[in-house]
Amino acid sequence: MKQLNLAIIGQGRSGRDIHGAYLHTDTERFRVAAIVEISPERRSRAKEEFDCDVYENYRDLFSRTDIDLVINATPSHLHFDITKDLLEHGFNVVCEKPLARHASEVDELIQTAEKNGKLFEIFQQSRFAPYYQKVKSVMDSGVLGRIVQVSIRFNGFARRWDWQCCQDMNGGSLLNTGPHPLDQALNILDMYDSMPNILCKMDRANTFGDAEDYVKLILTAPDKPLIDLEISSCDAFSDYTYSVSGTRGSLKGTMTNIQWKYFHESEAPFQKLTREPLCKADGTPAYCGEQLYWYTDSWSTPAGDPGTFTVAARAYYSMIYDYLVHGKPLTILPKQVRQQIAVIEECHRQNPLSKLN
């Protein structure tokens, strides 16, 4: 099996604890050949942990010809400039989320990648998360009927005071957490060539920075289910990740346990509209009521499951490997992420927040 040489830029929580942690387990297909990190302490640790070359500046990679893929895991506000520079210098690039702050920047990156004939991808691994794959398969199966509403909650109760709650560093819940559920939501809508209607409310609740940590986002489009997406740092009782309402049933669940129930129309009592008042057998007023036979099903993460992130990361990197080695098509496309950034941009336009001095 061909082994690809990778370079990781950044050894923070993303570069080390996400990408690095996964790649340590997939050494048959990938080898971390270089690490770029400005911190001397982190560079030293990376050299020991990965047994690879280390650099202080990512431009030191430009003299190398053996790097098959560069992972841009720098702080969010640096993603655009560094990704563009890498593409212009002939590297295949996977960029961490959030990809950019503006849709026009995504357009520029797509054009740069096409001009140089290079892979340009975004680490949207949550598209492959087992819980999302199950939710999507249940909806696509038709057992819930026509899907009317999909509610997504990425909630919790937390206070935050790091750089990722600063607007000037592309922080805030929508840019930090939002790319995961929003990517899933837009995949459910599956209308990448046009924009949904957007209504968004942002607030600052428990953050010590100037970016939002509460987001309520409503997406609508003709002949599509309403998407109700919430990202809140002030929800101490969040009890589900997905809730799906359909004309023949419903689904509700978390990232580890999902339940759904539905009925078959062919088995339901025959009913027709009547404008006459409904009455009981004794002539007293009655309310619509019937007995439906409910089918129930459930899903849980299987015993021995390595975890949502590991499964999703494996699937994502399999997509990357198969593209680079076998020429197989990508399932996550930059134009899809461009729509995500356009939605986020509109949300910020609707909610201008004051900035720290």
Taking residues 329-350, report their average pLDDT: 97
Instruction: Please confirm whether the linkage preceding 75 is cis (ω < 30° from 0).
Output: no
* pLDDT at residue 72 is higher than 80: yes
Mean per-residue pLDDT of the chain? 95
Taking the C-alpha atoms of residue 216 and residue 346, their distance in angstroms, rounded to an integer, is 13
* pLDDT at residue 31 is higher than 90: yes
Domain ranges of the chain: 4-123, 127-307+339-350
Written as one string, the DSSP assignment of 77-103 is: GGHHHHHHHHHHTT--EEEPSS--SSH
Q: How far is CA 311 from its chain centroid?
A: 14
Least confident segment among 142-151, 222-231, 243-252, 271-280? 271-280
Q: Residue 283: what pLDDT?
A: 87
pLDDT level of residue 334 (50, 70, 90 thresholds): very high
Q: Residue 38: what pLDDT?
A: 95
Taking the C-alpha atoms of residue 165 and residue 356, their distance in angstroms, rounded to an integer, is 11
Q: Residue 356: what pLDDT?
A: 78
CATH number for the region 4-123 comes to 3.40.50.720
Question: In this structure, how many other beta carbons lie within 10 angstroms of the beta carbon of residue 248?
Answer: 17
How big is the CA angle at 324 (ends 339 and 9), to the nearest 5 degrees?
70
Taking the C-alpha atoms of residue 77 and residue 101, their distance in angstroms, rounded to an integer, is 8
Which tens digit of pLDDT belongs to each residue from 168-202?
A: 889 999 999 999 999 999 999 999 999 999 999 99
Residue of higher predicted confidence among 303 and 214: 214
pLDDT level of residue 265 (50, 70, 90 thresholds): very high
Q: Taking the chain, what is the end-to-end CA distance rounded to the nearest angstrom?
A: 54
Q: Residue 305: what pLDDT?
A: 76
Residue 232, SS3?
strand
* pLDDT at residue 355 is higher than 90: no
User: Is-contact 224 125, C-beta < 8 A?
Assistant: no
* pLDDT at residue 268 is higher than 90: yes
Which tens digit of pLDDT belongs to each residue from 100-144?
A: 999 999 999 999 999 999 999 999 999 999 999 999 999 999 999
Taking residues 74-99, report their average pLDDT: 97
Residue 243, SS3?
strand
| Contacts for 110 with CB less than 8 Å, ≥ 6 apart | 120, 334, 335, 338
pLDDT level of residue 163 (50, 70, 90 thresholds): confident
* pLDDT at residue 304 is higher than 80: no
Amino acid (1-letter code) at residue 80: F
User: Is-contact 179 187, C-beta < 8 A?
Assistant: no
Q: Residue 357: what pLDDT?
A: 65
- Residue 75 structure tokens: 């702080």
Classified by CATH at the fold level, domain 127-307+339-350 comes out as Dihydrodipicolinate Reductase; domain 2 (3.30.360)
128 — phi, psi (to 5°)?
Answer: -100, 5
* pLDDT at residue 234 is higher than 80: yes
